[in-house]
Every structure is written in C-alpha cells, then in structure tokens.
Amino acid sequence: MTVADVLFDPFSADFYRDPHAIYPRLRAEAPVYYNAEYDFYALSRHVDVAAGLKDFDTYSSAYGVDLGMVRTGQKAAAKMIISIDPPEHRLMRSLVNKVFTPRAIQALTAMVTDTIEGFLSADRDEFDVVQDFSVYFPVDVITQMLGVPAEYRQQVRLWIDESLHREPGQIDMSESGTQAMAEMWVMYYELIQQRRADPQDDMISDLIAAEIEREDGERTRLKGSEIAGFATLLGGAGAETVTKLIGSAAVTFAQHPEQWQTLLDDRSRIPGAIEELLRYDAPVQYNVRRSNTDVTLHGTTIPAGSPVFLLGASANRDDAAWTDPDTFDIDRDRSEAQNLAFGYGIHSCLGAALARLESTIALGKMLDLMPRYEVDWDGCRRVSMQNVAGWSNVPVRILR
C-alpha cells in the first residue's frame, strides 16, 4: 500500500458522513498527509497534533483556521483572537480571560440553568434532541453574555450556520455565507454604537470600556472592528459546539444504554462522561494552520507557507495515546493522554468552562426528561460544515 492510496478529503460527503473512517489510515500510512488536489498537509497522530498546536512559531494561526482562509496566504482581515499570533494574541485574550475563568463561569449557573430549562418542553414523547433543544440554548447563553437583544439571539446561530456550511467540494464561503456574516457584522456595529451611548452590564460594554496595551506600548481603547470581531468569534464558537456535543450524547448513549444507566444511577459521573464524549466524538474535527518555515516530520517536508490541518479528532482516537480509543467508556483513565477536543496551548478553548457547565446541566436535564429513550435512526442527519462535525437531527422517542 502506498501513501498515495489514502484519500483524505475534508470537503467530501463521505467525510461529513463519518469523519472517523479515514483517520486510522492517515495515522498508520500517511502521518504527514499531502492532498495534491487542494494543496494542504494534515497531521493526525496525537504526538504530532499536540506538538503542532503548542508550536505557534512554526504553525501560525494568523492566516485563519480554515482552509479557505489559510490558502489565500493573506493574514486574516478580521481581528479575532483565534486568528492572531503572539505577542498580540496574549494582549487581546487577556481582555476576556477573566469572564471565562471556571470561577466566573460557576457564577452563571442560575442563568445557564434557566436558559436551558426555557428550551425544554416536558410534554412531548417525541422530539429532535438537536433541532428542538440543543441548537437553541448555547447561542442564547453566549449572546446574553455579550448583550445581544433577545430578538437577534437565534438569528446569530442561523448566520453562523450559513457561514460554516459547505456543499461537497466547496472550500470557500458561499455568497449566502458572506452575506450572513455581513449582516451579523452590521448588527454588532449597531449594538456597539448603542452601548457606547448607553453602557449596560454586558461584555460588549466591558470591551468598549477596556484599554489594551498595544505592541508599541501605547494604551488605547479597542476599535469597533475589534469588538465586533470578539463578538463574532464568541457567538460562533459558543453556538456551534455544545449543540453538537449534546446531539452526539443522545446518539452515543443510545448505543451504550448501560452507560446511560450509570449516569441515571449516579449524576456525579456526568462531568467524566462529558470529557469522554469530547474525546470520542469531538465537535471540532480540526483547525488549520500555516507553516512559517519548512518542517520535516516522518521523512516528509512540509514547505513554508503550506496550510496544515491539525486533526485533533483523529489524535483523540490514536491508539498510541489511548487504550482502546474506539471504545466509548465514561470510566476511562483520562490521565493517559491530553484530550485535544478543546485544543491545546495558547489558543486552547477560551469557553471550555462554559461549555462544560452548559453540557453538564443539559445532560442532567436529558436524564430527567428521557431516562429511557430510543433514537429514530432513519431520521438522523449530519451537518456538512467545515472544522466542526456532528448531528443536525437526532429524533428520539421517550419510552414510558
């Protein structure tokens, strides 16, 4: 078997259907995979992905984190911490870090619980865990924190969905995706104007008031575009990922009912179950970087200036890192390896504590609502999106 036999196409219908199908072959046969059609490289082994995520000098985020952006070779126009390298990254991230510490997030428990409960209806025996539940609350939570008026909160999710959607073979954002981003940008700009005139107790007002020390040592306020960048990133990251984790929970526990029973018997196991869901069925499959220099790894040289996929979802199923990685086990030894579902290093997920809190509460509510359930497998559908993966539809029936 030659390396050329392996085809990894992250924009194919096959990949959207089952991203994990190709990863074992990539790790075994092509650990430094090159895709000639789209001209990118991909790292899939745990050791390489973890090292790549930590090494921001070699693997830059400044050109964006998706292939469409990185392959332009232009630095990302919109200022968002996910697409900024040090030292500016540290300065910008420090403006929002304190809002997302585990302690600060713990203080939001009541708000997050109320929000989640508001989207759960107890009087139906059949519903779609994603479309009727998990699409709604994550975006509502983060946009409340930002200060987005209620009438725009779900619209933010629809705009983000549109911008991430990819038809098979489509790499760049569609016209409707670009239009959606433009409309969202305008909404945030107008909101920033309103908050400048009339500050409130929300993140947008805090960002307007914040001062940042620029690289030249000067202290300035953030520009409107920088604040809109924060809001766009936080809204997007907050909207897509927990939604997918909860859809995945409904599917995975239906396949492992004995572990659902374990949670029913002992709710203190929920946090461990969430870590295992993140490892086993990661909502974020990969982030793309651009190599700053030539890199030689496993005998292959990645030339400077190449897009490099860091496949965290593959790394999390690498049997060199984990025992029986394809087995879902909420009791697994989590100290065996670093779980890369939230990334690693300086760009690791800012919202991890919030994601864990939301997921813990949501899973608890699902245990209350659907202690015994079955999935309508024929009705399950997957999203076709770049970077993230998961279920768009998981219809279930509660068994009485």
Which residue shows structure tokens 């939001």? 108
CA torsion sign for 129, 131, 137, 142 is positive
Q: Alpha-carbon Rg of the chain, whole angstroms?
A: 21
Encode 78-118 in three state secondary structure: CCCHHHCCCCHHHHHHCCCHHHHCHHHHHCCHHHHHHHHHH
How many amino acids of this chain bind ligand HEM (CB under 6 A)?
29
Considering the rule CB under 6 A, would residue 283 count as an interface residue with ligand HEM?
A: yes
Considering the rule CB under 6 A, would residue 81 count as an interface residue with ligand HEM?
A: yes
From the CB of 278, what's the least distance to ligand HEM, in Å?
A: 6
Pairing type for strands 59-60 and 40-43 reads unpaired
| Selected binder of ligand HEM within 8, 309, 342, 391 (CB under 6 A) | 342
- Shorter beta-carbon distance to ligand HEM: residue 94 or 261: 94
- Shorter beta-carbon distance to ligand HEM: residue 122 or 239: 239
| Selected binder of ligand HEM within 355, 361, 375, 394 (CB under 6 A) | 355
Q: Which of these ranges, 34-42, 70-78, 198-206, 283-291, lies near ligand HEM under the rule CB under 6 A?
A: 283-291
- Shorter beta-carbon distance to ligand HEM: residue 26 or 231: 231
What is the enclosing helix (H) or strand (E) of 226?
helix 224-255
Per-residue interface string for the shown chain with ligand HEM, residues 299-338, x marking contact by CB under 6 A: -------------x--------------------------
Considering the rule CB under 6 A, would residue 273 count as an interface residue with ligand HEM?
A: no
Name the token pair of 188: 């945030």
Amino acid symbol at 56: F
Query: CA-to-CA distance for 68 and 84, rounded, in angstroms?
Result: 17
Considering the rule CB under 6 A, would residue 234 count as an interface residue with ligand HEM?
A: yes
- Shorter beta-carbon distance to ligand HEM: residue 31 or 390: 390
Cβ atoms 270, 366 nearer than 8 A: no
Query: CA-to-CA distance for 85 and 335, rounded, in angstroms?
Result: 29
| Selected binder of ligand HEM within 26, 30, 203, 233 (CB under 6 A) | 233
From the CB of 180, what's the least distance to ligand HEM, in Å?
A: 19
Query: CA-to-CA distance for 185 and 95, rounded, in angstroms?
Result: 20
Considering the rule CB under 6 A, would residue 205 count as an interface residue with ligand HEM?
A: no
Residue 301 region, left (φ>0) first, then alpha (ψ -120 to 50), else beta? beta
Q: How far is CA 353 from CA 238, 356, 375, in A?
A: 11, 5, 29
Residue nearest to ligand HEM (CB): 351
Query: Which residues are near ligand HEM by CB under 6 A?
Result: 53, 61, 65, 81-82, 93, 142, 233-234, 237-238, 241-242, 245, 278, 283-284, 287, 312, 341-343, 347-351, 354-355
